[in-house]
Structure 1
Amino acid sequence: MSSHSKPALISSRHFQPGQRALVRIDADLELDKNGQLVDDWRLKAALPTLKLLSQADQQLTLITHLGRPNGRRMADLRLLPIARRLTALLTGYSRPRIVRHQPEAVESPIFETQYQLCQNIRLLENLRFDASEEANERGLARLLTEQVDYFVNESFGTAHRQSVSTSGVAGLVPSYLGLRFAEELAHLNLLKEGSSQRRPHLLIIGGAKLPEKLGLLPELAKLADRILLGGVVANVFLEAKGEDIGRSVSDPDYLPLAKKLLADPEFAAKLSLPTDYQIEDDRIVDLGPRTIQQYIEAINEAGLVFWAGSLGICEQPSSAVGSQALARALADAKAIKLIGGGDTATDLARFKLLDKMDYVSTGGGAALTYLANQPLPAYQALSTQPAT
């Protein structure tokens, strides 16, 4: 592969029987209070690539992270629930063989526990137990690649992060896009390339991750004919307009940007903010009934809808009314329905409406970054690897 070429999609022509592959998957999923998986949609997204390689007699080492242990070993963030579910998806059984090593016998915490899912697939321990992962230190990248023949990135959800497992290992061995990673880009291009046959384009943006949402909104707005806001993102705009939001979560650092956007006639013409809200303890926790109805009407008029971010506190049924009502309307709508992964996908799974969407991205932040024409370090690393 030449420098700065387009990343190659993994296929059978890239390997020989018996070769060893390092595969980065995205298993950062929600666990309940008993440490059990709430859903497994991200694991299922990786199955086509895993089955392609496994059925071709490849030896697979899977790597992923779970939560934010920040370089510490944390019992409640070990990957046993992930290993059990992956084993069940791949084999029909749910008991992986666990191989443990003493800390002094291995060079990184991620090698201390290894989960043998089936004869030719093993899963290493949580990548973020080693602080080198997020620091993108080359030593860990060399450790991960020293006994493999090639690398496959099947973790679109972390493509906007620069770490050992997303960009550090790429180029140390031949490296390829996973099937789902490539599929993500193709579906997002429906919005990014602005098909006139699916107008109007509607963006629904909520949640609390302001750098990934509000920070990218000026670029995202160029793709949209109309924008509906909820969650903390909406709170910032309401505060910028001078409305009293009480003790609701906001961020003064983003008020200047919100005020600037509100003063832009082209942006303001596309924007819809909540006109009523559900209040608890002097905090906005959900959309009000009038706003819900207005937003449903916008969904019904749209040709393509992209939704990223919860519109209320969806872990609590009483403040998930807005998100659930819009999800039901979207499920019945004729528009193309694209979901920006993360919490939005978890909400839809909770509402049992995930399968009613046309496409669910495995990464909200990565999807928004790509749509806003910002670089994806993991994709760039695959594009600039040395010749092989």
Structure 2
Amino acid sequence: MSGDSWRTLDGLDPRGKKVLLRADLNVPVRDGKISDLTRIERLVPTIRELSDKGGRVIVVSHFDRPKGKVVPEMSLEPVAKALGDQIGHAVTFVPDCLGDTARSAVDAMKDGDVVVLENTRFYPGEEKNDPEMAKALASLADVYVNDAFSAAHRAHASTEGVARHLPSFAGRLMEIELKALDAALENPDRPVGAIVGGAKVSTKLELLENLLEKVDMLAVGGAMANTFLAAKGYDVGTSLKEEEMLDTARTIMKKAEEKGCDLVLPVDVVMSEEFMAGAPTRTVSADSIPSGWMALDAGPETVALLTRKLAGLKTLVWNGPLGVFELPPFDTATNEVAREAARLTQAGKLRTVAGGGDTVSALRHAGVLHDMSYVSSAGGAFLEWLEGKVLPGVTVLKETLKDAFPL
């Protein structure tokens, strides 16, 4: 995934060119209003650069899951307005992404114009990566720019198929993300560690197995840590655990030992008899959870242990909280370890790359979202990268396609 294997905007003069820009405008909407503008804000630098340099920017994106049908409430029209507000530039919304409507709008564009085409998933060909749809999208433009790492794990017409018909480039957001990921696991400063939290080992199994091959320290937190503790023979009371994953947890622990990977589990836990905010709590050793009690957060000794471990790292990958951070006081371990990671990052001692699932929310809750080296908003794509999977939307950008489309 090294930077010399795909083109960036440094190699593109967009003036007068029709640029098909794959963005991710799949933002959360509540009661008709966008509740989080992060994905739109992160697209602004690429769109502004292309527009300012005289490119004719044709933005395409999916939105929600209309399953190949036109669903009016899943239209990108309100999102297009929000995008215009963010870039400070008039944006024209086009109520289709294919056919005469789209072509007429594109043909009418002048240098610097920005249009947003309608939801690509209104067509069944999008998610099927239909070659005809990919060709039709490509016919609208001279070059293709993918700035949607968050959709790069899907081989869809607008993320993978279209790149087979046009000279293709990584947008600035995609470039930043790929460089951050490269520095986190592909070519990291060592020692490199990972913190993985979450509810279930079963949903993070491939991720854990891939990380074991790449990191020097792997800390497991959240409810999934209970499964590991139970696998060690500890009674975890009524804590959430996966009985059917105990053998798997033992295999992971054995593999970590064989590879010399330092596998860190909670040494103490904050527990309660009730799953609710402000419930009475007790802190006990991880091997002393009484019957009827459940572990809901890592304890202070675990926080101290992780703080010591962080001090010995140069790179940290973070995915998932250490406890039920949505319910105080079970947010304490996540908050304290996140703040220490942020402190080391700001001091220039640690490179921190985080993302996936609840991680963004947990880091925002801890007040350190902007203090890490890079926080990915990609969700599924970030997780699949952590699992070591091929990301079609990235692979198709690679150097091999340059021969087909020399500039």
TM-score bracket for the superposition, by shorter chain length = 0.7 to 0.9
Task: Judge which range, 279-288 or 51-60, deviates more.
Answer: 279-288
Letter of the structure 2 residue corresponding to residue 361 of structure 1? S
Range with bigger deviation, 293-302 or 304-313: 293-302
Gap regions ≥5 residues in structure 2: 276-292
Query: C-alpha deviations, 1:319-347, integer Å up to 9, x for none?
Result: 43332222222221242222235532233
CA distance in 2, matches of 1:62, 1:18: 16
Q: For 1:316 and 1:75, locate their aligned partners in 2 and report how far apart those are by CA, in whole Å.
A: 36
Alignment-mate amino acid for residue 248 of structure 1: L
For 1:90-109, list aligned pairs within 5 A. Answer: 90-91=87-88, 98=93, 100=95
Distance 1:131 1:354, change over 3 A: same
Once residues 161 and 246 of structure 2 are traced to their aligned partners in structure 1, the CA distance between those partners, rounded to angstroms, is 36
Q: Is the 8 A contact 2:92 2:114 kept in 1?
A: no
What letter matches 1:260 in structure 2?
T
Identity %: 31
- Whole-angstrom CA distance in 1 between matches of 2:70 and 2:200: 26
CA distance in 2, matches of 1:30, 1:162: 23
Aligned to 2:43: 46
Aligned-residue offset at 1:173: 1.7
> Using the alignment, how far apart are the partners of 2:241 and 2:82 within structure 1?
36
2:118: which partner in 1?
A: 125
C-alpha displacement of 1:283? 6.1
Distance 1:121 1:142, change over 3 A: same
> 2:238 aligned to 215, 231, 246, which one?
246
> Where does the alignment leave 5 or more consecutive residues of structure 1 unmatched?
none
Name 1:377's counterpart in structure 2.
Answer: 392
Helix, strand or coil at the partner of 1:331: helix
Whichever of the two has the greater Rg, that structure is 2
Alignment of 1:56-71 (within 5 A): 56-71=53-68
Query: Counterparts in 2 of 1:107-146, with a 5 A limit?
Result: 120-146=113-139
Q: Which moved more, 1:323-332 or 1:53-62?
A: 323-332
Q: 146, 164, 186: which one pairs with 2:157? A: 164
Residues 46 and 172, structure 2, Cα contact 8 Å, conserved in 1 = yes
TM-score by length of 1: 0.79
Aligned to 2:359: 344
Equivalent position of 2:221 in the other structure:
230
Change (3 A) 1:269 1:97: closer
Contact 2:356-2:378 within 8 A present in 1 as well: yes
In 2, the alpha carbon distance for the partners of 1:297 and 1:36 equals: 43
3-state secondary structure, aligned to 1:228: strand
Give me the whole-angstrom Cα distance separating, in 2, the residues matched to 1:236 and 1:162.
34
| Cα distance change of structure 1 residues 134 and 227 upon mapping to structure 2, 3 Å threshold | same
| In 2: Cα distance, 1:44 partner to 1:310 partner | 25
Structure number with greater CO (CA < 8 Å, separation at least 6) is: 1
CA contact (8 A) 1:191 1:223 kept: no
Report the residue type matching 2:315 in the other structure.
L
Of 167-176 and 182-191, more deviation after overlay is shown by: 182-191
Q: In the alignment, what sits opposite 1:36? A: 33
Counterpart for residue 266 of structure 1: 258
Say if 1:70 and 1:301 are closer, same or farther in 2 by CA, change over 3 A: farther
- Correspondence for 1:306: 317
Query: What is the TM-score of this pair, normalised by structure 2?
Result: 0.76
In structure 2, give the amino acid aligned to 1:246: T
| SS state at 1:360 partner | strand
Shift in alpha-carbon separation, 1:237–1:209, aligned structure 2, 3 A: closer
- 2:200 maps to 1:215: no
How far the C-alpha of 1:245 sits from its partner, in A, is: 6.3
Q: 2:84 aligns with which of 84, 87, 96?
A: 87
1:206 aligns with 2:197: yes
Q: CA deviation at 1:199?
A: 3.9
Aligned to 1:192: 185
Q: Tell me the CA shift for residue 30 of structure 1.
A: 3.8
Alignment partner of 2:164: what SS? coil
In structure 1, distance between residues paired with 2:98 and 2:191: 55
Q: Structure 2: how far apart are the matches of 1:345 and 1:174?
A: 33
- 1:289-325 CA distance string (max 9 Å, x none): 4433433333344322211223344455554333222
Inter-CA distance 162–251: structure 2 relative to 1 (3 Å threshold):
farther
Once residues 83 and 209 of structure 1 are traced to their aligned partners in structure 2, the CA distance between those partners, rounded to angstroms, is: 37
Q: Which residue of 2 aligns with 1:14?
A: 12
Shift of 1:154: 0.8
The verdict on how the C-alpha distance between 1:267 and 1:181 changes in structure 2, with shifts beyond 3 A counting, is: same
Q: Which residue of 2 aligns with 1:173?
A: 166
Post-superposition offset of 1:260? 1.4
Q: Taking structure 1 as reference, are residues 61 and 9 closer, same or farther at Cα in structure 2, changes over 3 Å only?
A: same
Deviates more, 1:322-331 or 1:343-352: 343-352
1:150-186 deviation per Cα after TM superposition (whole angstroms, max 9, x unaligned): 1111112222222222211111222112222222222
Code of the residue aligned with 1:172 in structure 2: it is H
Following the alignment from structure 2 to structure 1, what is the Cα–Cα distance between the partners of residues 331 and 34? 21
- Structure 1 residues 176-217: Cα deviation after superposition (integer angstroms, max 9, x where no partner): 12222222222222233555xx54322111235867732132
Do the aligned residues in 2 keep the contact of 1:206 with 1:229 (CA within 8 Å)?
Answer: yes
8 Å Cα contact 2:193-2:313 kept in structure 1: yes
Between the aligned partners of 1:276 and 1:171, the Cα distance in structure 2 is 52
Per the alignment, residue 322 of structure 1 pairs with 333
Distance 1:64 1:236, change over 3 A: farther
**Structure 1 contact 331–356 (Cα < 8 Å) conserved:** yes
Q: Note the alpha carbon deviations across 1:252-302, whole angstroms, 9 max, x for none.
A: 4x5543331122223585111234244544765443444334333333443
- Secondary structure at the aligned position of 1:307 is classed as strand
Measured in 1, the distance between the counterparts of 2:129 and 2:200 equals 23
Give the Å deviation of 1:23: 0.9
